[in-house]
């Protein structure tokens, strides 16, 4: 029994590693052509593209590789995992282990960051805890995953006027509603070389999306642009935790900040984009029906391919 399930576990991890690395290399290669048009893509598309290799690898293993092994692999057999399978399984263990450690480390750093600032005042706003903190530099950011905190320093309160403060808070609450810190955590667990440029483009697009969610008219657009300028002028690049979204992010700060301010200064009312939910739902439903029809033969083909790892 132990040997059977150990062989299955190694097979599943090996399949995950093979699919994950293959798709990651494909996404990294595709991004070399797409990054020239990065500004044309919204945050949802960029995040989906970045998360695709990990999500697809997990889905294939859970819905295809695992069932094909449990249903079609003989229970009593003397087969062993081959050298290829063992090598891929070791790679998968390294990837999953490194991702888990990276995610846990990011969570601990965020917890320490939150604990390092004494709270002056606290209140509840839109399912988020707004905390005013004492610090020498103006700071306005959202940190945390399950219970995100919106931190506003006393310096930021004094620096910004009422309109600027309100639109800056709406910007940060938009990050909460978009679950951007959780998305950052998932990317920490799915680290892969050569995809940092795609991650950076997503983070910039996420800031633009939060800007759009916060701004309601030309006046609020100017208020947000003013708040960005004031905060950026009074702060330097610091050590923000990875699981935090700041009004003025550290990474790619100058160029991205300039682009955001120019966009806000030229703000104009934008019609709500049509999401075309019906065609998307039809496409997904058709794919699920096709998968259900072909599921049996597909499992047999997957089992035959998985035998290559065992022989």
**For 18-74, how does the pLDDT look when each residue is reduced to its tens digit (9 = 90+)?**
999 999 999 999 998 888 776 668 899 999 999 999 999 999 999 999 999 888 877
pTM for the whole structure: 0.85
Distance of CA 121 to the CA centre of its chain: 31
**For 280-295, how does the pLDDT look when each residue is reduced to its tens digit (9 = 90+)?**
567 777 777 887 888 8
Residue 106 burial (CB count, 10 A):
21
pLDDT of residue 96: 94
pLDDT of residue 181: 94
* Closest by CA position to 241, among listed 144, 165, 118, 119: 144
Per the CB < 8 A criterion, the answer to whether 171 and 213 are in contact is yes
């Amino acid at each position: 029994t132990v040997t059977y399930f150990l062989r299955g576990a190694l097979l599943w991890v090996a399949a995950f590693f093979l699919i994950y690395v293959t798709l990651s290399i494909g996404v990294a290669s595709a991004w070399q052509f797409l990054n020239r048009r990065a500004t044309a893509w919204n945050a949802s598309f960029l995040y989906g593209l970045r998360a695709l290799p990990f999500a697809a690898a997990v889905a294939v293993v859970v819905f295809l590789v695992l069932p094909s092994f449990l249903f079609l692999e003989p229970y009593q057999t003397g087969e062993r995992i081959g050298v290829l399978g063992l090598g891929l399984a070791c790679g998968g263990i390294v990837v999953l282990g490194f991702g888990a450690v990276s995610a846990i480390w990011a969570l601990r750093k965020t917890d320490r960051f939150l604990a390092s600032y004494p709270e002056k005042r606290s209140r509840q706003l839109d399912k988020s805890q707004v905390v005013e903190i004492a610090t020498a530099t103006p700071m306005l950011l959202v940190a945390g995953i399950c219970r995100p905190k919106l931190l506003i320093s006393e310096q930021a309160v004094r620096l910004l006027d009422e309109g600027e403060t309100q639109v800056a808070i709406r910007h940060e609450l938009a990050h909460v509603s978009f679950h951007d810190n959780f998305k950052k955590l998932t990317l920490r667990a799915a680290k892969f070389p050569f995809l940092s440029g795609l991650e950076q483009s997503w983070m910039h697009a996420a800031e633009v999306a939060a800007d759009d969610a916060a701004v309601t008219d030309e006046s609020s657009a100017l208020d947000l642009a003013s708040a960005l300028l004031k905060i950026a002028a009074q702060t330097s690049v610091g050590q923000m935790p990875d699981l935090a979204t700041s009004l003025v992010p550290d990474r790619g700060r100058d160029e991205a900040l300039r682009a955001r301010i120019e966009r806000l200064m030229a703000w104009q009312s934008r019609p709500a984009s049509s999401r075309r939910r019906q065609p998307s739902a039809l496409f997904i439903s058709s794919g699920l029906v096709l998968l259900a029809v072909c599921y049996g033969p597909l499992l047999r083909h997957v089992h035959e391919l998985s035998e290559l790892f065992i022989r």
